[in-house]
A and B are shown apart, each in its own frame.
Chain A
Amino acid sequence: MTAGLAAAATTTSTGEAVQFWILGTVAVIGALSTVLMKKAVHSALSLAGTMIVLAVFYLANGAYFLGIVQVVVYTGAIMMLFLFVVMLVGVTAADSLKETLKGQRWLAAACGIGFGILLIAGIGQASLKTFNGLGTANARHGGNVEGLANLIFTKYVFAFEITGALLITATVGAMLLTHRERTERARTQRELSQDRVRSSHVPPLPAPGVYARHNAVDIAGLLPDGTPSELTVMQTLRQRGQIRDVSDESLADLKALEQRSGERLGRGPAPDRGPARDQAEEEEEVTQ
């Protein structure tokens, strides 16, 4: 690392160059997959990877405080908040591929490429041959953190105070936006139990999943005649319409299994490949 060098230099160490080219590739791939991944969870994980790579770059650039803060705040707090919201909103909620504006995607991609060319050509035109390094700046107050603290609490103290006001406002705003006023009285445990006795289901509801084949919570259990029973899936998934119906599928699977085991008779039962196939078909559904 040449951050320690005081005089104006033109190149960094070879180690940093190698690190840059390897991790820079990873960062660009992560950014691309953030944009191109179909599911929001995958996008979030790719973005977390890119952010960790950026944290390493901050450390390599002599910004030790920011590198650690990047890991703690961005990948630790912000990305986890994103994952929470992805889980709240529904993991299976895929992007709609329907274009509301005709040709918008291609125009947007063309604009993006043009913008990128402009930016990179602009940087290429600038004469940035030498760099000073942070050695003296970091050493002036005894370290990077001390130097930053010195600036924050003297030169930027008003900005820092206003930041506090901003954070408080954001907290109150988030509480206000997600708060829901209870419009009706909460039902007591006595009323709930009375309702349950009056309804037709006093014992616990039947469990989801098909015995020995699928035990995911979003798969309805099958009745003896092979039709799925909606009672077995929990109410939230029922309301969202996220029940996976595998009744036909499992019957077809069973047929295939019987056929295969018939073919291989004498070599033991055929391996069950049910779940893998289900996943592949679910992917197809999402694409449509």
Chain B
Amino acid sequence: MNPVNYLYLAALLFTIGASGVLIRRNAIVVFMCIELMLNACNLTLVAFSRMHGNLDGQIIAFFTMVVAAAEVVIGLAIIVSLFRSRHSASVDDASLMKL
């Protein structure tokens, strides 16, 4: 097996995550799909790091994880405050700024 297969797997996971963001209506599940996409990118970075024998890819994956943690905190806080005002976690209900 060639490590390129890790790239194929990452592409597949990224695609599934992207489709999930488009398909699902529940804000929490949409958020989980974004996490899935971030994880797929991390797998790509780690696989490339191994292919090139270079640790820089792992550093960038590490920074991705840090940014993902910050993003999850803010995103979930937004979902909770949205749920407080709307009593729903559906992205369709958050249409306050719609014309």
Residue with the greatest number of chain A CB neighbours at <10 A, chosen from B4, B20, B29: B29
Question: CB distance A78 to B69 under 8 Å?
Answer: yes
Q: Specify the chain A residue showing the minimal Cβ separation from B64.
A: A66
Q: Say whether A252 faces chain B, with CB atoms less than 8 Å apart.
A: no
Chain-B contact segment, one of A20-28, A186-194, A264-272: A20-28
Give the CA-CA distance A35 to B21 in the complex, in Å. Answer: 8
Question: CB distance B36 to A171 under 8 Å?
Answer: no
Give the CA-CA distance A245 to B53 in the complex, in Å. Answer: 62
Give the CA-CA distance A12 to B55 in the complex, in Å. Answer: 19
Q: Say whether A44 faces chain B, with CB atoms less than 8 Å apart.
A: yes
Question: CB distance B77 to A119 under 8 Å?
Answer: no
Question: CB distance A120 to B12 under 8 Å?
Answer: yes
Question: CB distance B79 to A89 under 8 Å?
Answer: yes
Q: Specify the chain B residue showing the minimal Cβ separation from A10.
A: B2
Question: CB distance B12 to A34 under 8 Å?
Answer: no
Tell me the total A-B contact number using a CB cutoff of 8 A: 249
Taking CB atoms, residues of chain A closer than 8 Å to B39 are 50-51, 54, 74
Q: Specify the chain B residue showing the minimal Cβ separation from A160.
A: B63
Question: CB distance A66 to B14 under 8 Å?
Answer: no
Q: Say whether A219 faces chain B, with CB atoms less than 8 Å apart.
A: no
Give the CA-CA distance A171 to B74 in the complex, in Å. Answer: 8
Give the CA-CA distance A238 to B80 in the complex, in Å. Answer: 19
Question: CB distance B49 to A61 under 8 Å?
Answer: yes
Shortest C-beta distance, B7 to chain A (Å), equals 5
Give the CA-CA distance A260 to B35 in the complex, in Å. Answer: 51
Count how many chain B residues have C-beta atoms less than 8 Å from C-beta atoms of the other chain: 72
Shortest C-beta distance, A148 to chain B (Å), equals 6
Taking CB atoms, residues of chain B closer than 8 Å to A21 are 1
Label chain B's interface by main secondary structure.
helix
Give the CA-CA distance A52 to B57 in the complex, in Å. Answer: 20
Q: Specify the chain B residue showing the minimal Cβ separation from A43.
A: B29
Question: CB distance B11 to A116 under 8 Å?
Answer: yes
User: Which parts of A72-106 form the interface with B (CB within 8 Å)?
Assistant: 73-74, 77-78, 81-82, 85-86, 88-90, 93-96, 100, 104-105
Q: CB < 8 Å: which of A31, A89, A93 contacts B13? A: A31
Question: CB distance B23 to A85 under 8 Å?
Answer: no
The chain B residues found within 8 Å of chain A, CB to CB, are 1-9, 11-20, 22-26, 28-29, 31-33, 35-36, 39, 42-43, 46-47, 49-56, 58-59, 61-63, 65-74, 76-81, 83-84, 87-90, 92
The chain A residues found within 8 Å of chain B, CB to CB, are 3, 10-12, 16-17, 20-21, 24, 27-28, 31-32, 34-35, 40, 43-44, 47, 50-51, 54, 57-58, 61-63, 65-66, 69-70, 73-74, 77-78, 81-82, 85-86, 88-90, 93-96, 100, 104-105, 108-109, 111-113, 115-116, 119-120, 123, 128-129, 131-138, 144, 147-148, 151-152, 156, 159, 163, 166-167, 169-171, 173-174, 177-178, 180, 240
